[in-house]
Structure 1
Amino acid sequence: MDDFLAARSQMALSLGFHIIFSCIGMVMPFFMAVSHYLWLRTGNENYKNVTKAWSKGVAIFFATGAVSGTVLSFELGLLWPTFMKHAGPIFGMPFSLEGTAFFIEAIALGFYLYGWDKFNRWFHWLTGVMVGITGIASGILVVAANSWMNSPSGFDFVNGQYLNIDPMKAMFNQGWFSQALHMCIAAFAATGFAVAGIHALMMLRKQNVGFHKASFKISAVFAIVAAFLQPLSGDISAKFVAKSQPAKLAAMEAHFKTDTHVPLIIGGIPDTKKQEVNYAIKLPGVLSWMITGDPAKPVTGLDRILVKDQPPVAVTHYAFQIMVGLGMMMMAIGAIGLAAFFKWRQWLHQPWFLKLFIAATPAGFIAVEAGWTVTEVGRQPWIINGVMRTADAVTPMPGIQYSFYLFTAVYVTLSIVVVFLLKRQIQMVPVIYDKPQLNPAL
């Protein structure tokens, strides 16, 4: 493994783990706040136990997210020094503000964890809400920095020099809204289905059913809403990518030849030598219509992109297909969930219904990983789109492969510890036994 591949692999590994920790850290505080609110309004002890259990999970992922995020910050400077030398002064603003949001989140989480029976109960609940708001803010700010790499702005690039720097314009670049919206909704969908799936499994095993039923309902509602919103945000993102990164869109769709009435490709195996896609389902004119609003308008293909500037087609295409396929699957399960919540409530206790959510437990996070693969691999060979190549930004320091092996071991170990701690928290939840009623209709 050469140093360039090792540096990219280490960054991919770190991002791959961190994005899961950060998604859960962004979303779980909202689940926690909703459960806390329901306990305050109803007095149901199951909601109180759910809140306390989830708050411990929030603390675990806050710690792991902080560690993995700090590692990423150091890796940017150590693995990509040329990139940080030029890009740091331009897109440093969102990272600085993210640090502020993280600081406020830490204070709010401290108040929340140690505020039980010490603060006014509504103030205590509000500190939990603040944990969620600042967590989302942190995620949006980091995504804003990443979106700048995809759609750089806030500077003039003249004769190899970065001039007239405007950090605010760089932060609020043209891509920040669509990418942040898509990422936030994806985080809610992924975390919602993961949490709902875990509690559905416990319900299927008939373990502490009251607790897990309350947990399942809250997380499933978030998951279902996010699953239906995600295609809308995806459409916004795809249209922006078509304008700002036509090479990425062409790789996503394995679209080789610029043409009108371009079909939407479902599945398929790209053949870059023959410039065709085999074994794909093609919907005539749909891609042209989705991107331009008119099937007769052309969509840029890879034939308009220099070969040296083309991203890896196969990886980008497969990742995009996985993301979309899992998104559609989650939306289908969401439709069944809506029917269960609003019409056929007896489904909520049926094994087949619970097994649907159990099967979908990893789907959201696989989709998130696939989406980030599209974002990062689809931008190659650029680290700053159209300005700086990734190969020109890598560190000259040798021996990066050993660092990659070490970090792989650390992250795998960290993940095992997190799973152990979460399993322990679930097992320690107290059981609430419903009091028998003389009249079952009451």
Structure 2
Amino acid sequence: MDDLLAARSQMALSLGFHIIFACIGMVMPFFMATSHYLYLRFNDEQYRNLTKAWSKGVAIFFVTGAVSGTILSFELGLLWPQFMEHAGPIFGMPFSLEGTAFFIEAIAIGFFLYGWDRFNKWFHWVTGVVVGISGIASGILVVAANGWMNSPEGFDYVNGEYHNIDPIAAMFNDAWFTQALHMIVAAFVATGFGVAGIHAIMLLKRKNIRFHLKAFKIALVFGAVSAIAQPLTGDVAAKDVAQRQPAKLAAMEAHFETEDHADLIIGGIPDEEKRTVDYAIRIPGALSYLAHGDFDARVTGLNDIPAEYHPPVLITHFAFQIMVLFGMALVALSILFFIARWKKKSWIMKKWFLRLFIAATPVGFIAVEAGWTVTEVGRQPWIIYGIMKTKDAVTPMPGIFYSFILFTIVYISLAAVVTFLLYRQMKMVPVLYDANGDDPGDSLYLN
């Protein structure tokens, strides 16, 4: 493994772990705030217990996300010094503001965790909402920085030097809104189905049924609404990519030849040497419509882009197909959930129904990882699109492979610790029994 591949692998590993913690850290506070509101509204102790349980999970993911995010910040400087030398003064503002949002989030978490029965009850609730809002702000700001790498703006590039730097224009680049919208909604989808799946496991085991049923429903409402909205945000993002990064779109769709009335390719195995896609399903004109809103529009193929600027087609295409496939599977489950909520209430406690959502627990996060693979691999060979190549930004320091191995061990250990802490928290949730000493939720359980 050469140094460039080792550096890219280490960055991918760090980002792949951090994005899971970041998604959950952004979204879980809204679940927590919802259950807290329901407790204040209906005075149901189950919602109070749920709020406290989720708040401890929020704290765990906040700390974990802070650690993994700090590692990523150091890695930018250590692995990509040339990139930071040139890009730091231009896109540093979103990172600075993200630090501010992080501190607000930390203060709000402290107020919420230790504010029970100490603050006004509605002020206490507001601190929980602030945790969520500041977390979302952090996510948007980080994505804005990544958007700048895909759509570099806010400077004039003359003879290899950067002039007339405008940090505001750099932060609000052409890519930031579509990327942030798609990412935030994806975070709600992944976390909603992930949390719901965990509580579905407990329901299937008949553990504290009323508690886990309430949690299951809250998480799925967020996840299902977001899943149904996600294809719309994806369409907006894809149209933006078609305009700004035609090579990425061509790699996503394994579109080798420029043509009008371009086919949408579903599945298939791209062959970059033969410029063909085997075993694919083709929908005539659909790619032209999805990319440009016109069935007869011209879509740029890889044949019109210099070969040295081609992204890895196989990886980008497969990652895109996985993201779309899993996203549409969650849309189908979302529709099924709303049918159960409105028309078939008895389904929710059926074993087959719960097993479907248990199977879906990791699906949203796999889709998120695949989406980030499309974003990052599809931009190659550029680290700053059209300006600086990734190979020109990597550190000259040797031995990055050993650093990659070390960080792999660190992240696996971190994931194991987080899993253990969350499992312990789940087991510590109190069961509220009725006057006969029974869990009243037992009557809800159906085979």
Give the TM bin, normalised by the shorter chain.
Answer: over 0.9
Counterpart Cα distance in 2 of 1:237 and 1:433: 49
Residues 95-114 of structure 1 show CA distances to partners (whole Å, capped at 9, x for unaligned) of 00000000000000000011
Residues 270-308 of structure 1 show CA distances to partners (whole Å, capped at 9, x for unaligned) of 011110100011111111111111111110010111100
Where do 1:29-428 residues align within 5 Å? 29-428=29-428
AA at the equivalent of 2:366: I
AA at the equivalent of 1:125: W
Counterpart Cα distance in 2 of 1:22 and 1:183: 11
Q: Which runs of 5+ in 1 are unaligned?
A: none
Counterpart Cα distance in 1 of 2:80 and 2:155: 20
Counterpart Cα distance in 2 of 1:290 and 1:105: 38
Counting matched residue pairs gives 438
Counterpart Cα distance in 1 of 2:113 and 2:234: 36
Residue 380 of structure 1: SS of its match in structure 2? coil
AA at the equivalent of 2:172: F
AA at the equivalent of 1:52: K
AA at the equivalent of 1:38: L
Counterpart Cα distance in 1 of 2:297 and 2:172: 30
Counterpart Cα distance in 1 of 2:110 and 2:238: 40
Counterpart Cα distance in 1 of 2:186 and 2:306: 32
In the TM superposition, what is the alpha-carbon distance from 1:432 to its structure 2 partner? 1.1
Counterpart Cα distance in 2 of 1:62 and 1:294: 44
Counterpart Cα distance in 1 of 2:391 and 2:58: 38
Counterpart Cα distance in 1 of 2:256 and 2:133: 43
Counterpart Cα distance in 2 of 1:290 and 1:390: 30
Q: Percent identity?
A: 70
Residue 273 of structure 1: SS of its match in structure 2? coil
Counterpart Cα distance in 2 of 1:19 and 1:214: 27
In the TM superposition, what is the alpha-carbon distance from 1:435 to its structure 2 partner? 4.9
Counterpart Cα distance in 2 of 1:293 and 1:13: 36
In the TM superposition, what is the alpha-carbon distance from 1:434 to its structure 2 partner? 3.9
2:4 paired with 1:4: yes
In the TM superposition, what is the alpha-carbon distance from 1:349 to its structure 2 partner? 1.1
Counterpart Cα distance in 1 of 2:293 and 2:118: 57
AA at the equivalent of 1:164: N
Residues 203-244 of structure 1 show CA distances to partners (whole Å, capped at 9, x for unaligned) of 111110011001001001001001001000000000000000
Counterpart Cα distance in 1 of 2:286 and 2:312: 24
Counterpart Cα distance in 1 of 2:109 and 2:380: 38
Counterpart Cα distance in 1 of 2:176 and 2:264: 26
Residue 280 of structure 1: SS of its match in structure 2? strand
Residues 369-405 of structure 1 show CA distances to partners (whole Å, capped at 9, x for unaligned) of 0000000000000000000000000000111111111
Residue 269 of structure 2: SS of its match in structure 1? strand
Residue 296 of structure 1: SS of its match in structure 2? coil
Counterpart Cα distance in 1 of 2:294 and 2:74: 46
Q: Which runs of 5+ in 2 are unaligned?
A: none
Where do 1:16-31 residues align within 5 Å? 16-31=16-31
Counterpart Cα distance in 1 of 2:65 and 2:117: 28
Counterpart Cα distance in 2 of 1:40 and 1:280: 54
Change (3 A) 1:375 1:292: same
Counterpart Cα distance in 2 of 1:289 and 1:125: 46
Q: TM-score, normalised by structure 1?
A: 0.98
AA at the equivalent of 2:397: M
Residue 260 of structure 2: SS of its match in structure 1? coil
Counterpart Cα distance in 1 of 2:54 and 2:307: 50
Counterpart Cα distance in 2 of 1:86 and 1:195: 41
Counterpart Cα distance in 2 of 1:419 and 1:179: 29
Residue 281 of structure 1: SS of its match in structure 2? strand
Q: TM-score, normalised by structure 2?
A: 0.97
Counterpart Cα distance in 1 of 2:26 and 2:425: 19
Residue 379 of structure 1: SS of its match in structure 2? coil
Q: Cα RMSD (Å) of the superposition?
A: 1.0
Residue 195 of structure 2: SS of its match in structure 1? helix
AA at the equivalent of 1:176: W
AA at the equivalent of 1:284: P
AA at the equivalent of 1:419: T
